[in-house]
Amino acid sequence: MRAWTLPAVIAGVLVITGSDEPTETAMRAAFEARLGAQVQSVVDFVAETGGEVAVATLRAARTDEFTIRSFVKRGCVPSAGHDAASSHLCTFSVRIGVVTGELDRTLAGRFYAGRHGLVFESADAEAAGV
């Protein structure tokens, strides 16, 4: 019974609001998951090419760490080339803390429903038109 509770609530919210545009919270989680996966890919590459000593050096320098310090949704439009019912091109501003300081960027990307939640794919802000 519990398995149906969350989907029913989500469906109810979508019916009430009339929109399936991703929320700022969901967008942040999808962006953070994508960034984490990309960092892990780099760590895996370092391990494959440089071995465990290289990974230990990378981790000691904390260059594999990041923190999303702020995330602000700027705007979204349905994605034209994809299922518009579940895909949006969105812009957002993000401040990421890294070992050397902070990165402040305004980015664009496509957000769509995946098997395990919202998924983020980066896009050119100008091409996104949002």
Q: Render pLDDT for 81-100 as a digit per residue (tens, 0 to 9).
A: 655 557 999 999 999 999 99
pTM: 0.77
Q: Is residue 3 part of a domain?
A: no
Q: Is residue 4 part of a domain?
A: no
Mean pLDDT of 49-77: 94
Task: Look at the chain and report how many structural domains it folds into.
Answer: 1
Specify which residues 122 forms β-bridges with: 109
The residue segments making up the domain with residue 120 are 22-128
Q: Is residue 119 part of a domain?
A: yes
Q: Is residue 16 part of a domain?
A: no
Q: What is the CATH number of the domain that holds 40?
A: 3.10.450
C-alpha closest to that of 30 among 104, 86, 101: 86
Task: Spell out the residues 6+ positions from residue 91 whose beta carbon is closer than 8 angstroms to its own.
Answer: 74, 75, 76, 106, 107, 108, 125, 128, 130
Q: Is residue 107 part of a domain?
A: yes
Q: Is residue 6 part of a domain?
A: no
32, with CB counted inside 10 A (0-12, 13-18, 19+), is middle
